[in-house]
Copies of this chain bind each other. A is one copy, B any other.
Amino acid sequence: MTVYSAPSRELLFTLQSIGRLGDLSGFELYEHATPETVEQVIEEAGRLARDVIAPTNPIGDKNGAKLENGRVLLPKEFETAWKAYTEGGWPGVPFEAEFGGQSLPWTVTVAVSELWSSSNMAFGLVMLLNQGATEAIHAHGTEEQKAIYLEKMIAGEWTGTMNLTEPQAGSDLGEIKSRATPGEDGTWRIKGQKIFITFGEHDLAKNIIHLVLAKTPGAPAGSKGISCFIVPKFLINEDGSLGKRNDVRCVSLEHKIGIHGSPTCVMAFGDNDDCVGYMIGKENRGLQAMFTMMNNARLSVGVQGLGLAERAYQQALAFAQERRQSRAVGAPPGPSAIIEHPDVRRMLFTMRSTIDAMRALVCRNALAIDLAKVAPTEEERTNERALADLLTPITKSWCTDRGTDLTSLNIQIHGGMGFIEETGAAQHWRDSRIAPIYEGTNGIQAIDLVTRKVPLQGGDTVRGLIGEIEAVIPALNAAGHADLAAIAAALAPAAAGFAKATDWVLANVATNTDDVLATASTYLEMAGNVVGGWLLARQALAAVEKLKEDGADRKFFGARIASARYFAEQRLPVAAALLGPVTTGNAILADLPGLLVA
């Protein structure tokens, strides 16, 4: 098993070239996020990820989470890692200082999250769910609720969960059956069963704060009749100490393809009719409370795809330098290191360049979230909010699909050894497979993209993005640099195709909705590639500038330019060619049941 090493320079370059690292600390909210501080944060997080968390990853995969007498047992190494993580103040990265947070921008939060995902994605889920629940309480809780929960959750003393799914209600939350009935004291009694609850039970934290969707008596049918409740594992006394055990328990764990270190729980609420819940937000507006959090969680799931791909890439690169097999063309006699073989290089550089694009996309998405808060004008804040909304389904789906692709390439580079579990390549691929499914399947993301996000601001959000993409082409051509010109040559038709596909989506989404839905996933794939290629092009421009400085690291910046060109030449022609498939619509698929189903 190779050692994981945090890609700090890559992260910092991405923050500099895409994430407006220097600028953000000019805004009061992020005044602590100076470049020096951010660099330190990433270095420290990288050390924790490498030295403490990464060693727990194969252990978690092998031993998994176990349920014994209602208790979920995790590998003891997870406890040590959780202690180090919480003592370092890491759960507080994106939260305000008022509640003990570090007030760092999302651009930095996602950079740090990548390190957790790379070092142990399964373990990283307890962080992710806690962050999401904390955000939801922060956004929708009463002052009293915030006072009770936020500080403890941000300290990692307690952790949060999200309880949405039921067997009949997955993508369609309108179908949930869990019920909440009012108690006499203003609290609620919750009854129902939830499935797929990540870290629904564990002993890392002293308390677990469940956010639970349920229906109140007489609530409207469907998604407009769902309320959200805080259900603590242990009730909290007036003095803040822990009181009696609430009537909620984990009744079983799922046996999954991957993320074995993350307990996926079936949770029973109110089996003894004594499960106490506290409504958060307004009655029947529970989905809104969840969606606040879900957008950022979707971005974070995209980050998981990136983190696993990076981990797999490091492993593949190390193996390819080590393993000797067959003599390469022009090499000295005897077997060459397999990195000398062009087809292995193809796989490695496909990983590398795609990862660079994923990281840039994640960063731009996070920047939009930050600027939506701090940008100086209302117009800019509105536009960045819309851009964040537009990019989020793309980041979630494109990065998680690529996560599965690239972890599979790592297996392929390992050859027969890749299929053997002990090598460690397999785990990342198995782990990766959940990310295209949870937090809204990638199909749901695509539907969200074409029906809600592309039409935002009457289409001006996506048109503005396309305008930015097109604007980089003359800049690339003006530089008098062969690599940049080659990138421009590939980007121009891809951007034009994306613009046409977008026009088609906008023209048809209201009237020929099924046509647009039928190719929504293909449109999303096109969008991910074009936006990724554009961001890499910007980074290549930045790298060319950097190389003009004395003593510039030719290897590092040269790799950035090569990465952008490789991505442009290999992927963008395919992205451009998706215009045809996107615009074919639904005609054949409409006949499908008639053709296939008896």
Binding site for B on A (CB under 8 A): 165, 168, 170-172, 174-175, 195-196, 254-258, 317, 321, 324-326, 329-330, 335, 339-349, 352, 404, 408, 411-412, 415-416, 418-422, 426, 429-430, 433-434, 436-438, 441-443, 446-447, 490, 513-514, 517-522, 555, 558-559, 562, 565-566, 569-570, 573-574, 576-581, 584, 586, 588-589, 591-597
* Residue among B196, B349, B522, B592 making CB contact with A345, cutoff 8 Å: B592
Is B339 within 8 A of A595, CB to CB?
no
Which residues of the other chain, B, contact A326 by a CB distance below 8 angstroms?
Answer: 171-172, 174
* Residue among B257, B348, B593 making CB contact with A596, cutoff 8 Å: B348
Q: How far is the CB of A22 from chain B (nearest CB, A)?
A: 27
Which residues of the other chain, B, contact A593 by a CB distance below 8 angstroms?
Answer: 339-340
Stoichiometry (number of copies)? 2
- A446→B429 CA distance, assembly (Å): 23
Is B513 within 8 A of A339, CB to CB?
no
Is B419 within 8 A of A256, CB to CB?
yes
Given contacts A342-B514, A517-B341, contact A416 B437 (CB under 8 A): yes
Is A429 within 8 A of B437, CB to CB?
no
Q: How far is the CB of A154 from chain B (nearest CB, A)?
A: 29
Q: Can you list 24 contacts pairing A with B, beta carbon distance less than 8 Å?
A: A165-B416, A170-B325, A171-B326, A172-B326, A172-B335, A257-B419, A257-B426, A257-B429, A258-B419, A343-B443, A343-B520, A348-B592, A349-B592, A352-B596, A419-B433, A419-B434, A429-B433, A430-B430, A555-B594, A555-B595, A558-B595, A566-B588, A566-B589, A576-B577
11 new A-B contacts at CB < 8 Å, known A412-B441, A565-B588: A168-B324, A196-B416, A343-B443, A344-B443, A345-B518, A352-B596, A562-B588, A562-B591, A569-B588, A573-B579, A574-B578
* Residue among B165, B411, B436, B576 making CB contact with A433, cutoff 8 Å: B411
Is B170 within 8 A of A416, CB to CB?
yes
- A437→B170 CA distance, assembly (Å): 35
Which residues of the other chain, B, contact A324 by a CB distance below 8 angstroms?
Answer: 168
Q: How far is the CB of A97 from chain B (nearest CB, A)?
A: 37
Residue of B nearest to A330 (CB): B514
Residue of B nearest to A556 (CB): B595
Which residues of the other chain, B, contact A325 by a CB distance below 8 angstroms?
Answer: 170-172, 175
- A514→B330 CA distance, assembly (Å): 10
Is B589 within 8 A of A580, CB to CB?
no
Is B592 within 8 A of A518, CB to CB?
no
Q: How far is the CB of A412 from chain B (nearest CB, A)?
A: 6
Is B574 within 8 A of A581, CB to CB?
yes
Which residues of the other chain, B, contact A577 by a CB distance below 8 angstroms?
Answer: 573-574, 576-577
Which residues of the other chain, B, contact A257 by a CB distance below 8 angstroms?
Answer: 411, 419, 421, 426, 429-430
Given contacts A326-B172, A341-B517, A518-B343, contact A349 B570 (CB under 8 A): no
Q: Which of A345, A430, A562 has the most CB of B within 10 A?
A: A345
Q: How far is the CB of A574 from chain B (nearest CB, A)?
A: 5
Q: How far is the CB of A58 from chain B (nearest CB, A)?
A: 13
Is B588 within 8 A of A349, CB to CB?
yes
- A550→B575 CA distance, assembly (Å): 44
Residue of B nearest to A426 (CB): B257
* Residue among B255, B335, B442, B595 making CB contact with A562, cutoff 8 Å: B595
Which residues of the other chain, B, contact A335 by a CB distance below 8 angstroms?
Answer: 172, 175
Q: How far is the CB of A259 from chain B (nearest CB, A)?
A: 9
* Residue among B170, B346, B441 making CB contact with A519, cutoff 8 Å: B346
Q: How far is the CB of A116 from chain B (nearest CB, A)?
A: 20
* Residue among B342, B426, B518, B581 making CB contact with A518, cutoff 8 Å: B342
Which residues of the other chain, B, contact A566 by a CB distance below 8 angstroms?
Answer: 588-589
Which residues of the other chain, B, contact A579 by a CB distance below 8 angstroms?
Answer: 573
* Residue among B437, B558, B597 making CB contact with A321, cutoff 8 Å: B597
- A258→B429 CA distance, assembly (Å): 13
Is B569 within 8 A of A420, CB to CB?
no
Which residues of the other chain, B, contact A441 by a CB distance below 8 angstroms?
Answer: 412, 415
Is A581 within 8 A of B592, CB to CB?
no
* Chain A to chain B: the 10 pairs with minimum beta-carbon distance, closest first: A577-B577, A342-B518, A342-B517, A343-B443, A559-B595, A172-B326, A345-B589, A573-B580, A172-B325, A573-B577
Which residues of the other chain, B, contact A321 by a CB distance below 8 angstroms?
Answer: 597
Which residues of the other chain, B, contact A521 by a CB distance below 8 angstroms?
Answer: 343, 346
Given contacts A342-B514, A343-B518, A412-B441, contact A573 B581 (CB under 8 A): yes
Q: Which of A175, A442, A521, A588 has the most CB of B within 10 A?
A: A588
Is A421 within 8 A of B346, CB to CB?
no
Which residues of the other chain, B, contact A429 by a CB distance below 8 angstroms?
Answer: 257, 433
Is A438 within 8 A of B426, CB to CB?
no
- A595→B136 CA distance, assembly (Å): 44
Q: How far is the CB of A344 from chain B (nearest CB, A)?
A: 7
Is B597 within 8 A of A339, CB to CB?
yes
Is A569 within 8 A of B580, CB to CB?
yes
Q: How far is the CB of A561 from chain B (nearest CB, A)?
A: 9
